[in-house]
Amino acid sequence: MSPPVKVESFDHLKQLAYRENGDYVHFYTLLAGGLARSSKRISYRPDSSEFLIINEIDESDEEVVEGELASRTNLVEAVERGAMFCCD
Summarize pLDDT for 18-46 with one digit per residue, the tens: 999 999 999 999 998 888 999 999 999 99
Of the candidates 71, 67, 63, the one whose C-alpha atom is nearest the C-alpha of residue 43 is: 63
Q: What is the pLDDT of residues 12-23, one digit of tens each?
A: 999 999 999 999
Angstrom CA distances, 58 to 55, 67, 71, stand at 6, 25, 21
State how many domains the chain has. 1
pTM of the shown model: 0.93
Give me the domain span that covers residue 28. 5-86
